[in-house]
Structure 1
Amino acid sequence: MSVIEPTAVPFASPAAAPGPRYVETPVAYDGILLAGFGGPEGQDDVIPFLRNVTRGRGIPDERLEEVAHHYRHFGGVSPINAQNRELKAALDAELARRGIDLPVYWGNRNWTPYLEEAVQDAAAVGDTTLLAFATSAYSSFSSCRQYREDFARVLQTTGLADTVTIDKIRPFFDHPGFVDAFLHGVKEAVEGFLAQGIAPAAIQILFSTHSIPTDDAVRSGARDIDWGEGGAYAAQHEAVAAWVMDRVRSLVPAAADVSWELVYQSRSGPPSQPWLDPDVCDVIAELPQRGRAAVAVVPVGFMSDHMEVLWDLDTEAAEAAEEAGLAFVRTPTPGVSPAFVAGIVDLIEERLEGRVAAERAHVTDLGPGFDVCRPGCCENIRAGFKPAAAGIAP
């Protein structure tokens, strides 16, 4: 366990403050902070919500309306808040079942209930040592560091920086509880296509995740690790997809001839800015020329069926498959499946117990992820470094 000088990690519990990669001593947390992205819950919320998401970037409302139509198609309601309510209830139940007396405080980065409310509610009853679970599994600015920066911002703006500490559960991209839904979804999709008489070589599996700027991707993850092209973000997704396919092929021997690749979706940057590709719909359009007759899209980058899944996959990708004449299946996200909920509580118990890294559950050689992010991890070069919790500065 590598240790940095004291107070290397701001806003942290005493066990995490020195900056170890893994906190291997028990921490008596007072509560769990469920940190979500947030989403609108009516047509009047859509533009204000998108202003929050894009704060500081000077994007006019006219351009925001180009994204707003995704939400307006579903009545202006994102499913993500309802999903987080379900997740909170499921976590409360699983914690109680295991005899862990910890309240779960839920707050969002971009819509009500906000993180500020959750942290203030916790502090008001004396719950000042918090362990955060961010609803994103991988390493990148938008999926990890941005949450950490929001934790720091909230503690500063509420005046609780000297009272409340926030540690963060490690990136859980390869925890068994998270990957369980993808494994079973791909297995069922392959078996379903085979039952329709589709040859294994005519089946394509596309593991889909949110595209991010290439500059963000190459800076994702700890800087003292060579992640390869695409940084930790791409490497983690590739490793999970490869593990899922290896397991499916061991369970369904005919799947040995099924092809797979990692694709991206939901790009939102200007055309001049490089983002990770290929795009899921572009790849689907090419599949007939590859001799494919069926495609299963696996939302490996997503925890639940929120807007990027409902619109970009269930709507746009499904339409692309129909136009290409392909049989189409979109496999499930973890959601509030028992395996996933149990897995989150396992991750909480790691930190309560100070479980040593060698005993932590993970399915790829890249895991387990670090409890404390390393210096400069997941930099956003457009915005620069801001104060962040749960990681060594900057």
Structure 2
Amino acid sequence: MTTSTGFDALLLLSFGGPEEPAHVRPFLENVTRGRGVPPERLDAVVEHYMHFGGVSPINALNRNIIAAIETEFDSAGIDLPVYFGNRNWHPMVEDTVAAMQSDGVERALVFPTSAWGGYSGCRQYHEDIARARESVGAGAPDLTKIRQYYDHPLMVSAFADAITSALGQLPPDRRSGARLVFTAHSIPSAADANAGPPTDGGHLYSRQVEDASRLAAAAAGIDEYDVVWQSRSGPPQVPWLEPDICDHLEVLAAKGVDAVVVCPIGFVSDHLEVVWDLDTEAEEKAEELSISFARASTPGADVRFAKMVVELVREHIAGVSARRIGAVRSYGETLNGQRCALGCCETPARPVRS
């Protein structure tokens, strides 16, 4: 079935999320399997989901992205069906790859809904691909993961316009003094130290987040900003990237800041960790501190995001040069090939809980 481009499908590979209340606990158990997360922490996260009816928006948002990609493929003359698979909830990637094989797909590109380096942002997607192919067995499609894309100019411009729009949502008398605050998902400090090829000095994830923030702020015409973290889930004795967004809001309030624009630079879509950690917890903290709060939108619903996917695909099917504007290297295309090295982004061994 392989076409003249060398590929005959695109697989959008994502994290997954529950779509009804009965799915929430099994989904979270999938996410945290082997991580030693205590049951009481899961109970707290279950309540976050129940606050939204037990439904995560992530699957619906990804289906919207797929529809937009299909439209852009049609406009660009790219004849590739788009499949959808997840790591942690249905449609599971193993089932999707089995369906692809049944449909005659021989070689497909994989677009991950993570723009980043590091274990969770990149290497784990390679592991998902390998696990899915192994589950299908002989005749499983060859799957090639698309590179990290944190600094693609289309995504940067979408974030920049979202920042400008959010600034306009603040009270007019507070806009000039508003502080721009970028957030991304926190990870254990040890995992960040291991992020990237061993020869590249580590900390690839946090360096890319900082670089993406620099790019988006510059594109929005803003000189001063902060980079903070959110969505920590590990035990308190394990160091994670800091400061947390809510703690940082307290610091800003103590300095007399009375307005913030929060940009979730680390997220593609407005899924639960955005609408709970930012639109609920952080916004409530800002209100408590008398800080006006506006949150920039994520780029997934912006047409430029689907156009970016087209460009990333064309790098493979048409030899188009990669468009990158960042100062930090990107990897991620093949696990042990040109863009990734043996031992790249290995996750540190987790301590045994007694």
Instruction: Calculate the TM-score normalised by the size of structure 1.
Output: 0.83
Match of 2:187 in 1: 212
Verify: 1:168 aligned to 2:145, yes or no.
Answer: yes
Match of 1:18 in 2: none
Partner of 1:197: helix, strand, or coil?
Answer: helix
Q: Shift of residue 306 of structure 1?
A: 0.2
Label 1:241 to 1:60 Cα distance change in 2 as closer, same or farther (>3 A).
Answer: closer
User: Residues of 1 paired with 2:248 and 2:211: CA distance?
Assistant: 20
Verify: 1:364 aligned to 2:337, yes or no.
Answer: no
Verify: 1:85 aligned to 2:50, yes or no.
Answer: no
Match of 1:387 in 2: none
Label 1:126 to 1:278 Cα distance change in 2 as closer, same or farther (>3 A).
Answer: same
Match of 1:226 in 2: 201
Match of 2:240 in 1: 275
Verify: 1:69 aligned to 2:47, yes or no.
Answer: yes
Match of 2:299 in 1: 334
User: Residues of 2 paired with 1:144 and 1:37: CA distance?
Assistant: 12
Structure 1's unaligned 5+ residue stretches are 1-25, 250-254, 385-394
Which consecutive aligned stretches of 4+ in structure 1 deviate over 6 angstroms post-superposition? none
Verify: 1:148 aligned to 2:115, yes or no.
Answer: no
User: Residues of 2 paired with 1:61 and 1:368: CA distance?
Assistant: 37
Contact 1:213 1:276 survives alignment (8 Å): yes
Match of 1:49 in 2: 27
Label 1:28 to 1:76 Cα distance change in 2 as closer, same or farther (>3 A).
Answer: same
Q: Shift of residue 376 of structure 1?
A: 1.1
Match of 2:217 in 1: 245
Q: 1:382 aligns with which of 346, 349, 352?
A: 349
Q: Shift of residue 199 of structure 1?
A: 6.2
Instruction: Calculate the TM-score normalised by the size of structure 2.
Output: 0.92
Match of 2:337 in 1: none
Amino acid at match of 1:307: L
User: Residues of 1 paired with 2:297 and 2:188: CA distance?
Assistant: 26
Q: Shift of residue 140 of structure 1?
A: 1.3
Contact 2:169 2:294 survives alignment (8 Å): no
User: Residues of 2 paired with 1:172 and 1:296: CA distance?
Assistant: 24
Contact 1:31 1:102 survives alignment (8 Å): yes
Cα deviation code 1:281-330 (max 9, x no counterpart): 00011212212110111000000000000000000000011011011000
Partner of 1:329: helix, strand, or coil?
Answer: strand
| Greater relative CO (CA pairs within 8 A, separation 6+) | 1
User: Residues of 2 paired with 1:199 and 1:136: CA distance?
Assistant: 31
Q: CA RMSD in A?
A: 1.9
Label 1:241 to 1:62 Cα distance change in 2 as closer, same or farther (>3 A).
Answer: closer
Amino acid at match of 1:269: G
Contact 1:321 1:327 survives alignment (8 Å): yes
Partner of 1:51: helix, strand, or coil?
Answer: helix
Cα deviation code 1:34-76 (max 9, x no counterpart): 1011100111110011111112235464442121111010010
Contact 1:35 1:108 survives alignment (8 Å): yes
Verify: 1:288 aligned to 2:265, yes or no.
Answer: no
Contact 1:175 1:363 survives alignment (8 Å): yes
Contact 2:97 2:140 survives alignment (8 Å): no
Q: 1:198 aligns with which of 169, 174, 179?
A: 174
User: Residues of 1 paired with 2:329 and 2:317: CA distance?
Assistant: 19
User: Residues of 2 paired with 1:294 and 1:81: CA distance?
Assistant: 32
Q: Shift of residue 89 of structure 1?
A: 1.2
Contact 1:27 1:354 survives alignment (8 Å): no
Contact 1:223 1:376 survives alignment (8 Å): yes
Q: After superposition, where does 1:94-105 map in structure 2 within 5 Å?
A: 94-105=72-83
Number of aligned residues: 343
User: Residues of 1 paired with 2:350 and 2:131: CA distance?
Assistant: 15
Match of 1:112 in 2: 90
Label 1:181 to 1:370 Cα distance change in 2 as closer, same or farther (>3 A).
Answer: same
Cα deviation code 1:216-258 (max 9, x no counterpart): 101112222235xxx0111101111111222222xxxxx45xx
